[in-house]
Each structure stands twice: as structure tokens, then as C-alpha cells.
Chains A and B, each alone.
Chain A
């Protein structure tokens, strides 16, 4: 009863590849249908967010599953066919379960502990249910995943602010500004780091967001998404005074915010404090800006420094969360393994019944002239013997298969009863 998970996330694949692999809701429905149409796969689910695309599939034959999903992905980005191999991960059974649990409880997120991912997993499940591609296996697995996520959230402090650029930036901003509600944030660059940080800022109550980017259309898209306003990069220096907080991450080789820009912005804003967060490498903001009065400049290293202490406490929380994941994975896997034993058990029962019927026929032929009643008694007796004989091995198999490392046990059982070649 193999369960497989194939995917690419922010840790394994660059942005372009993730972009080409991502599915919109309609595409997702289509892809789900195309996965299940040819026989071989029983259930499937697609999770597609800006940081990951993962396909969860369940079918009788793992090779068929992997092949089917892989070709779906290659179909999304044919030019990346060769590269794809090094950027995707293929996980089986308990590994797939553990991974799904860790995704759903936000342990695999770029910003560990961020809350949106659970909603995204739920949405993916809803789509699978809607398209009829979620069956008993996925129903059980996904509901278990939701429970795990809830457990992690309530039993650990993982969700209490994530170790991330966005988190550190907001915490820092709170020691400078009274409230973020009435502040204007200027985003320079519209890459994923900026986007993610911006979403976090918005969640924490920032209302006014300006987006500046080399390609204006990208800035406009992000601004629309955040309910902000796009600013052409050329007018950045003249608009700088509007920003209380500047978050910059562009690919520029030269600093794009110079000392004079900031000085003149400060004059216009009558020295109201400005907070610059420069997470670009190489840097976007002239480091001398940090020496100005009422200006605070933090780069990536600085942000890491200010959350360092915090990290220690979080390590503890991560440990706790990991323990929960392990425990729950084990629980689900043991159920999964019981399922794994089912074909063997059925084969065993089928084989025993064939033997019984064969022997019964032969005996009846030998004992000619039996009454109806006598035949029935004979048949009942044979059934009773078989079921009594099988009861012990079958319950032993069920029992053992729930445990870790039971694959060998099943193998032995098959070998012992000569079932290999019969189950498939």
C-alpha cells in the first residue's frame, strides 16, 4: 500500500524552477484528473505554494506512482527535465508521512512557525476532495496531519514568532517605533525574501506599503497583492522621505540608497527616525547611513545577532516539536503497515481456502453416497480447521506488521506459505 510524496521546496529548488512547477487552482484540478485517469494510482493531492510544490500519491505500485508524478512535473517544465532530478525529493511511506506532518505544522517553512501553511494544506486537501481524488488513505492521513499541526501549535511555542528576517525586523522595529499601524514601509526589490517579509509586516499591522523595483510591473504586481503602492526605482530617492521603515533586497551590485539620499530625506521628514533593513548581498544601502542620528541600519548579520539569544529557546521548542512529529509519524506508520499486511493476509486466506476446497472435493468423491447433511458437516469441519489453523498466524502478522521493521516479518510469512508470486 505505498504512499509516495514527490516535491520541490525552497530548500531544494531555485525560485524559477518552483515557479514553473506551481499550479493554480484550476490547473490543479486538471492535473489531479490526469494523474488518476490511467489506472495505477488510487488517490492524489497537490500542494502548491510559493515555496513548494508537492504531490502526494497513493497506489498499488510505487514505481507507477513515482513515474506518473514525475512525468506530470516534467510536463510543467520540459526544459528542466535534466535538472529536475537534483531538485526534487521522492519520499516513501513513513518518510512521506513525516514530511507531510512537518510541512503542515510549519516546521519545513522558510519562516518556521508561520501560520499560513496549514491553511494552504487544508485548501489542497479540499481541492482533492472536490475532485474526488482523496480516498480513505488521504482522508485519514490529512486529518491526522491537521491534528499534528494543532498539537505542535498548542504544545510548543513554535508559532510564537518565527526565526526569520521578517520576525527580527519587526521585533527591532518595535523597539524603535511605538506602533507599526501608522508607519509606512518601503520595499526595495520585489523578490521572495521581500515578499515574505512584507506579508509578515502586513500581518503585524503595517498599513501603508510602497514597493519599488527595477521592473515596475513586478513592483505593481506585488503592491497590488499587498494593497500598497508601486514607486518607480528612478523616483526612489525623491520618495524616500515617506518611509519610516525601508526593507531592501535587490540584486544590484552597487548601493542604491546613498548617504546624501538619506540625509535629504531626513531633512524633509524633520528627523523623524528611519529604520533601514538591508538584506541584500552585496548591500543596497551605503553603510555610512547607519552613523546618522535618528537612522538605524541593520544588515542580515545584525538581524541574526539580535535573534541569537532567542534561537536558543527556539532550539528547545524545535526539539519538542520534532518529538511530536516522530511520535505521530510512528502512530500513522503503524496503521499504514497494518494495511501493508492485508494483501499477504488475503493471499494466505485465499490459498488456504483453495487447499481446503481441493481436499474437500477429493474426499467427497471418495466417500460416494453421502447425504446432504453429511456433506454439510464435512464442509463445516474443513472450514473450522482452516480458520482455526490460520487464526494464529494471521493475528500474529497483523500484530507484528504494526511494528517498526516488520517488512522482513511479512517476507518470511510469504516465503513460509509460498505466497510470493501470488499477491501481485
Chain B
């Protein structure tokens, strides 16, 4: 049953991403209603898999790579739905949905994580995990809005027809979504790092131990801090801000996956399992 949900979700996201791509390319306009129904069905199936994980492990199912990928995928779509509903930028799904689908697929069919060492099994896992993952999901939407901004700007500069320009949101709204998601993502990420440090100090007695993930997380945090600072004070907008948001998110992905697989410490997914 859970396997079926996993498959439904994968198919639904792939399908809706394809529909959106088709629409943005200008090859026809699929009915909006169908697009919405497919995304909602996918998200419902995905939510059921996540809830099943939480229910059976009685904690956030993020202690192995598969669970973490699944949960980040779910957060990304959640953030996407919020942004699409709040700002009317459904097209951002052309980035967010394939991203979510790939993470969902890489995570593999859902299975229960093995037991974890009692050392890390605490409420801090929930708090630190939720904040960090939500922050990363928000930055993923900033990434999507940034990519679309760059695409739309190129279309405008190359004098594309108004008809094809109309298939993407306006630059102003994409820039705003980029900015909002960046701010929210940055705040959540900051809170995630702080709660992580408190948790570490409770378990090991030291706030910071320069693990690979911590180090790269800090670098990522600094990059985003710099970008936000430039945005607020130097009037960085539009193309430059969009490019930075895209690059910043590549760093997030690297920190999440790369640094999670190398190095040592509790962020190494296989080390969770005791």
C-alpha cells in the first residue's frame, strides 16, 4: 500500500512537471484543472508515505539518506504549493517538481529506518530537522524562481513574442518570490544551525565540531547572508540576485548530499544507525 503511494507520487510529479514544461515551451496549454488535480494527488500520496514513516518510527524519518531525501522532497513540494497559492507562480513547479521527483526516486521505495543510537534520539532531532529541511525547501523555491527569472529575462531581451512571454510569471513577481523565499529560508536555516548547536552541546558538550556538514553548512549560510545583505543594502535585484540564488542552492544540494555522505559524525547518514 505504501509502495503504491510512493509510485503514485512519483508518477504524478513527473507528469505534472512534464505538463508545465510543455506549457512553458509554448507547445499548448494543458487544462489548469488537470494540472492541479495531478499535483494534489501526488502531494496527498507523498504525505501519506511521510506520515507512515513518522507513525512507525515515532520520530522524523530523516535518520537515513532515503528518509532524508523523502522528507526534503515533501518539504520542497509543500513550500512550492504555498508559493504557488500565495503568489500565483505555479510555473515554479517546472523546477520544484522535477527536483522533488528526483529526490523521491533517489530515496527509493520507503522502508523503515533501523533503530538509532539513543544519544541522538531526542526532540532536538525533530526541531533541528524540521527547521533545517524547511529552510532548504524554501531555498529550493528561491532557486526555482531564480531560474525562471533568468529564463524570462532572456526571453524579454531576445524579443520573444508576447504570447510566449505570457507563459511565465512577470519578472517582478519572480524577483519577489525569490526574495521572500530567500529571507524565510535564511531565517529557518539560521534557526536550524542554532538548534543544532544547542543539541550538540547537550550531547557532546561542545557547540561546534567542524564536521564536514557543519563546515559546508556554515559556508552556505555565509553565502546566503552575503546575498541577503547585498539585496537589502546594495539594491541587488533581478538577474544578479537570481544568479546568486541559483548558485547558493547548488551549494545547499552539495552540503545536503555530498557532505552527508563523506566525513564523519552524526550527519553521516549511515552513522545514525547504531
Q: What residues make up the interface of A, taking CB atoms closer than 8 Å to B? A: 168, 171-172, 174-178, 267, 270-273, 293-294, 296, 298, 302, 305-310
Contacts and interface: CB of A to CB of B under 8 A. Distances in A.
Given A272-B237, A293-B240, A175 B157 contact: no
B62 interface: no
A302 B161 CA distance: 10
A306 B172 contact: no
B165 A306 contact: yes
Nearest to A293: B239
Given A168-B162, A175-B168, A306-B165, 20 more contacts: A171-B166, A174-B170, A175-B155, A175-B162, A175-B166, A176-B171, A176-B172, A178-B170, A178-B172, A178-B173, A271-B235, A293-B238, A294-B238, A306-B159, A306-B160, A306-B162, A307-B162, A308-B161, A309-B161, A310-B163
B132 interface: no
B161 A307 contact: yes
Interface majority SS (helix, strand, loop, mixed), chain B: helix
B29 to A, nearest CB: 14
Contacts, number: 66
A294 B156 contact: no
Contacts of A267: 235
Contacts of A296: 156-157
A176 B235 contact: no
Nearest to B155: A175
19 contacts: A171-B165, A172-B156, A172-B162, A174-B170, A175-B152, A176-B156, A267-B235, A271-B235, A271-B236, A273-B172, A273-B238, A293-B238, A294-B238, A305-B161, A306-B160, A306-B161, A308-B161, A309-B163, A310-B161
Interface majority SS (helix, strand, loop, mixed), chain A: helix
Interface of B: 152, 155-157, 159-163, 165-166, 168, 170-173, 176, 235-240
Nearest to B237: A271
Contacts of A273: 171-172, 237-238
Contact of B165 (A172, A178, A270, A308): A172
Given A273-B238, A310-B161, A177 B166 contact: no
B172 A177 contact: yes
A177 B238 contact: no
Nearest to A172: B162
A309 B166 CA distance: 13
B60 to A, nearest CB: 37
Nearest to B232: A270
Contacts of B237: 270-273, 294
Contacts of B173: 178
Contact of A178 (B159, B160, B161, B176): B176
B141 to A, nearest CB: 17
Contacts of B172: 176-178, 273
A302 B238 CA distance: 22
A9 to B, nearest CB: 28
B184 to A, nearest CB: 19
B235 to A, nearest CB: 4
A177 B172 CA distance: 5
A305 B163 CA distance: 11
B159 A302 contact: yes
A176 B236 CA distance: 17
A277 to B, nearest CB: 13
Contacts of A176: 156, 170-172
B143 to A, nearest CB: 20
A212 B170 CA distance: 28
Contacts of A294: 237-239
Contacts of B171: 175-177, 273
B62 to A, nearest CB: 36
A293 B238 CA distance: 8
A54 B47 CA distance: 69
Contact of A305 (B159, B236, B238): B159
Contacts of B163: 309-310
A361 B171 CA distance: 95
B240 to A, nearest CB: 6
Contacts of A307: 161-162
B162 A171 contact: yes
A270 B161 contact: no
Contacts of B160: 306
The 10 A-B pairs at the shortest CB distance, nearest first, are namely A270-B235, A175-B165, A171-B162, A309-B161, A271-B235, A178-B172, A294-B238, A178-B173, A271-B237, A305-B159
B257 to A, nearest CB: 33
Which among B152, B162, B163 has the highest number of chain A CB atoms within 10 Å?
B162
Which among A176, A178, A308 has the highest number of chain B CB atoms within 10 Å?
A178
A43 B245 CA distance: 71
Contacts of A271: 235-238
Contacts of A310: 161-163
A172 B176 CA distance: 19
A157 to B, nearest CB: 14
A267 B157 CA distance: 21
Contacts of B157: 296
A175 B170 contact: yes
A311 to B, nearest CB: 10
Nearest to A309: B161
A146 B152 CA distance: 42
A310 B155 CA distance: 16
A307 B163 CA distance: 8
Contacts of B168: 175
A302 B155 CA distance: 13
Nearest to B238: A294
A171 B162 CA distance: 6
A69 B166 CA distance: 49
Contacts of B235: 267, 270-271
B252 to A, nearest CB: 25
A302 to B, nearest CB: 5
A298 B158 CA distance: 11
Contacts of A174: 166, 170
